[in-house]
Chains A and B, each alone.
Chain A
């Protein structure tokens, strides 16, 4: 409960700051106004800060698309996920993202770096095809260096063959 109050408080503060930034000539709010706003969390919807990584995660189907063994094509379910990411990126045109490409452990190190790069680029290219400016997307391959599933089995490897979209700013 306290935590969601705090998040709501931060959200409100961010909105105030945003208003100031866009209209710097505007007079500062009268004393007490800000305090009044931040003490009204029950009136506001609780949730992640709009445009934040938390908001991104809450808004999209998934931050992660998965790939088949040695593959890097974007299949139908990947398309749905990336479309939801594109919608979010359309809503926050000033946001940039990094797409991290990964491979499973059953490959050689150098090749997996190249494969992670290729997968991240596939996801990037699909977002670009949906109208997202390519300059907003950087790709970063970790090869097999950053597994998310720790087992040495098919299920873990399937989860590790992935491209993960992370918001940057």
Chain B
């Protein structure tokens, strides 16, 4: 009991944005504490991808009014379970049953599941939880994962959130379930910056927009009067670096999400584009064309002098840091067509790594460090991955034009955009590293240039 409470306290401490000081009263589970031996990772997806997971609505101790979606804590409990259900369903690895397919559970059952009933429904895993309204208007959401066959609790967490951030509690719950069952790091509680597209092909209106990883909380940042391209969230989500034709010419701006102010990343009169953050958020890589020759530069995110990292007469563009910040993968056409190169972070030791046939562009280093995703142009434009030495190249997609991969925070899923031949219509898609689970994200209008940020603290 004490141990479990500490586990919960640790979970709270990892969410400083929430009310960390507040104790979370999670009902005692009658099940045995999780076996320490169950913490190992599941490496073979086939062992768990077809797991039957039941996610009934999260009951409330007392249904009261809340500002969160649904209006009451009872309605909210169903919405929370739906978000958890959709998160787990949409990554393609689980086949869950959600609150709209399952009977309701009573509040006391959250911590004391009716295992026999769930066994009868062929559920192997059970996700239960509850929603409580606090006097200050905040919400406490509890999340429990049970192994039905074993009749035991595998994990639990509690979250205290503001009413308008209730979806974050649901994403944290889905992250807990995903991590516990897959052995992978979480990724649902994260956000995406992208470019929303409307209008005809020759006069495309392109707006900077943001949304949660599941497409919720969508918001347009720019109004579309100036073409916006290639956004990247800063690692702490406080800023977005992107390209805008605001004053007629392409320039990189740093947009402050909190204040709505934006600044030029450099005062150069030359065009700047293809901005990228360093993993610690202290530097921005950008590409700049001087008299037609494009090279890669680094500048402190707060401004100051730029350092030129490449000096080939060809086009050197883009760039993506390894997670430890020691290396940069970028693209260059110095040998003819676009190919991938790796260099040290100071620009030294530039070496080509792509010898796959065709051209290779827009490399993005995985947050895990083990893979580089890129656009492979060989007939079709495909999303592909390779290791950092150019070995083990694999295509994850095969469509007419898939472009610009961005990694999920845990390095298991790659998001990209797909352009339709002829119409030029675009959409944001994602695919997992097996290449088998591909799906289109729902966005209000067409979308391109996705950039996935890290898991929220």
For residue B292, which residues in chain A have a CB less than 8 angstroms away from its CB? 72, 117-118, 120-122, 125, 139
Contact A140 B248 (CB under 8 A): yes
Any B CB within 8 A of the CB of A89: no
Interface hits, B407-457 → A, CB 8 Å: 419, 421-422, 424, 448-449
Segment among A27-35, A46-54, A141-149 that sits at the interface with chain B: A141-149
CB-defined contacts of B338 to chain A, threshold 8 Å = 108, 111
Q: Is the CB of A110 within 8 A of B273?
A: yes
- CA A87 to CA B247, docked complex, whole Å: 30
Q: State the CA gap A118–B289 with chains docked (Å).
A: 8
Over the window 239-272 of chain B, the binary record of Cβ atoms lying under 8 Å from chain A Cβ atoms (1 yes, 0 no) is 0000100001110000000000000000000010
Residue from A105, A114, A139, A147 with most neighbouring chain B CB atoms (10 Å): A114
A108 engages B362 (CB within 8 Å): yes
Among A113, A118, A122, which residue has its beta carbon within 8 angstroms of that of B273? Answer: A113
With A117-B294, A141-B289, A147-B201 given, is the CB distance from A110 to B317 under 8 Å? yes
CA distance A135 to B22 in the complex (A): 65
* CB–CB A146/B202 < 8 A: yes
Closest Cβ–Cβ distance, residue B162 to chain A (whole Å)? 37
Kindly state the separation between the CA atoms of A120 and B292 in the bound complex, as whole angstroms: 8
Which of A70, A111, A113, A145 contacts B271 (CB under 8 A)? A113
Interface residues of A in 112-137 (CB under 8 A from B): 113-115, 117-118, 120-122, 125
Contact of A110 among B202, B287, B422 (CB under 8 A): B287
With both beta carbons as reference points, the residue of chain B lying nearest to A150 in the complex is identified as B201
B331 touches A (CB below 8 Å): yes
Residue of B at shortest CB range from A148?
B202
How many chain-B residues does the 8 Å CB contact rule pick out?
Answer: 44
Main secondary structure on B side of the interface with A: strand
Within 8 Å of chain B (Cβ to Cβ): is A152? Answer: yes
Total A residues in contact with B, Cβ cutoff 8 Å = 28
A114 in contact with B202 (CB, 8 Å): no
Q: A121-B292, A122-B292, A147-B201 are in contact. Are A113 and B250 (CB under 8 A)?
A: yes
Let me know if A110 and B274 touch, CB within 8 A: yes
A108 contact from B271, B287, B294, B403, Cβ within 8 A: B403
B361 at the interface (CB under 8 A from A): yes
| A105 and B424 within 8 A (CB) | yes
Closest Cβ of chain A to B284, distance in Å, is 14
B98 contacts partner chain A, Cβ-Cβ < 8 Å: no
Q: Which of B206, B249, B294, B404 contacts A114 (CB 8 A)?
A: B294
- If the complex has contacts A70-B337, A145-B227, are A110 and B362 also in contact, measured as CB distance less than 8 A? yes
Chain A: CB-nearest residue to B275: A110
Report chain B residues within 8 Å CB of A18.
none
Contacts A108-B403, A145-B204, A148-B202 given; does A113 touch B274 at CB 8 Å: yes
Given contacts A106-B377, A109-B404, A115-B315, 16 further A-B contacts (CB under 8 A): A106-B381, A108-B377, A108-B381, A109-B229, A110-B331, A111-B361, A113-B243, A113-B289, A118-B293, A121-B292, A125-B292, A140-B248, A141-B289, A146-B203, A151-B422, A152-B422
Please list the residues of chain A having a beta carbon within 8 angstroms of any beta carbon in chain B: 70, 72, 105-111, 113-115, 117-118, 120-122, 125, 139-141, 145-148, 150-152
The 5 A-B pairs with the shortest beta carbon distances in the complex, nearest first, are: A121-B292, A114-B294, A110-B274, A117-B289, A108-B361
- In the complex, 12 of the A-B residue pairs with CB atoms within 8 angstroms, ordered by the A residue number, are A70-B337, A106-B381, A110-B318, A113-B274, A114-B289, A117-B294, A121-B291, A140-B249, A145-B206, A147-B202, A150-B202, A152-B422
